[in-house]
Amino acid sequence: MWKLRSFRQSNGNTLVSEWFAAQAEEVQEAFLGRMKFLRGLPGNGWKRPYVGQLRHASCKGLFEIVISVNGVEHRPIGFFSEEMEFTFLAFATERDGKFDPITTCDVAQKRKDIILNHKERSREFTIYA
């Protein structure tokens, strides 16, 4: 079973919980539903069409979860922090091949660096039912 982690804001809240609380029910269930099924995949199972590696130079080492909800392309962004462990660093939507916000990869890279230097700046989370 895969482990899921999230970047922790300086106020102690996880990024995932803050983003999640701001979403409509359909987006919430889409995210949790996809993660529930992804967690059950074998170690080599996180690949297209569920997960994609980002190719842009500023996004090196980052991966996106591909989720469509009512015509909107949602892109939770993160990296493989350990074996069978994925850590979320940012949330964006994608349109015409560009992230919104446009600084998504830059912000994600900074958060990744923080976590790599301070493990306590990420926290494991689970999905209930």
Partner 1 sequence: MSLQSTHDFVSKLLNNKRSRDAYVYEHIRNGIPFQLRAMREQRDWTQADLAKAANTGRTTITRLENPNNERLTIKTLLELASAFDVALLIKFVPFSRLLKEYEDVSSDALNAGSITDEEEVKALNAWAAERDIKTHAANASDTILREIKGKGNTTPQQTWLRFVHEVTTSTEVKTPTNDINERRREPADQPNAELVQTQQDQLLTTEIGGQRRASSRG
State which residue, 11 or 70, has the beta carbon closest to partner 1: 70
Closest distance of CB 41 from partner 1, Å: 6
Q: Which of residues 25-44 bind partner 1 (CB under 8 A)?
A: 25-26, 28-30, 32-34, 36-37, 39-42
Closest distance of CB 104 from partner 1, Å: 19
Cβ(36)–Cβ(45) below 8 Å = no
State which residue, 1 or 57, has the beta carbon closest to partner 1: 1
82: contact with partner 1 by CB under 8 A: no
Angle at 37 between CA 74 and CA 8, to 5 degrees: 55
- Give 8's Cβ-side CA count (13 Å radius): 14
80: contact with partner 1 by CB under 8 A: no
Closest distance of CB 117 from partner 1, Å: 26
Residue 50 buriedness (CB in 10 A; 0-12 / 13-18 / 19+): middle
Query: How far is the C-alpha of 10 from the C-alpha of 97, rounded, in Å?
Result: 31
127: contact with partner 1 by CB under 8 A: yes
